[in-house]
Amino acid sequence: MSLNPDASRLIDLVEKQTGYRVTLGTTEGLATDAQMISASASHPAHLIDISTRSLAVADYVTAVQCVMLLTMWSHPRGVPQFEPIEERVDQAVREAAQSPRLAKYPKEAAAKTANSLVTGLLLQLRSTPSELIAMEYIRRECPSLHRQQSDTVNAVLRRNSQGLKPEVKEFAPAEILEKSLLLSAVVALLWGQISGSTAAMLPYKSIGLDTKAEELLADFRAVPGELGERSQAVVDAWAEKLQLLGLYLWTFRPK
């Protein structure tokens, strides 16, 4: 895959700082723009698979994954591993399945939906700080990717806004939905500050999430440290505010 100089430079930087090569591929059917597997002793290469529907912005997508790898591998304690605590997640799933919006469905369907919503929220909590770090890094360090960044982020914002549809409110427990929308609002808020556009935040202002999003973004701004330490600290700070702190723990894999 032929990449532009900024994306190629980030690949070189990842390989230099981690000691492992980066392998690029494509795949169909992803819900996101890419999936990434970090290298380990048993898998001695970083794998970045780009969705075939995102090939037009492959340079930017590759750059984002590279910044995420740099973030992960910069932590002084090792490569951070976000690990849900099974019994506590199971309890959160049971509580969600019994919420008024899901309790009206058959138990099996309610449990399956609740599990998807709870685990999806934890994934969003884990990934959003790294996404924000990558967004700022690329805007600052990779001017040739600005056009692809605008196209990609605006597409992400459109996908995120699906959570605002009335049919989602029919089944998603109110507490889980608000937390997910709040994390999406932080992405919209930061992009609005970077791009100078206020349009991205309008849907979230309309449901009163703008002030809470500003608080979470302030937490993101206030956390010191290098890439990896900062990402982990922001996850924990947000988890405390969102009452998700007891659902996971951090372990660190040797580099």
Residue 118 has pLDDT above 70, yes or no: yes
Rg for the chain, CA atoms, rounded: 18
Looking at the DSSP assignment, which residues form a beta bridge with residue 46? 22
Q: At what angle do helices 174-195 and 146-160 cross, to 10 degrees?
A: 160
pLDDT tens readout for residues 151-181: 999 999 999 998 889 899 899 999 999 999 9
What pLDDT was estimated at residue 130? 96
Question: For the chain, what are the domain ranges?
Answer: 5-73, 80-253
What pLDDT was estimated at residue 31? 85
Residue 97, both tokens:
């399945």
Mean pLDDT of the chain: 95
Q: In the chain, which residue ranges form alpha helices assigned H by DSSP?
A: 5-18, 58-73, 86-97, 100-103, 107-141, 146-160, 166-171, 174-195, 202-205, 210-222, 227-241
Give the separation between CA 193 and CA 198, rounded to whole angstroms. Answer: 8
If pLDDT is split at 50, 70 and 90, which confidence band does 1 have?
Answer: low
Mean pLDDT of 79-83: 96
Residues 6+ apart with CB under 8 A from 204: 181, 184, 185, 188, 189, 210, 213
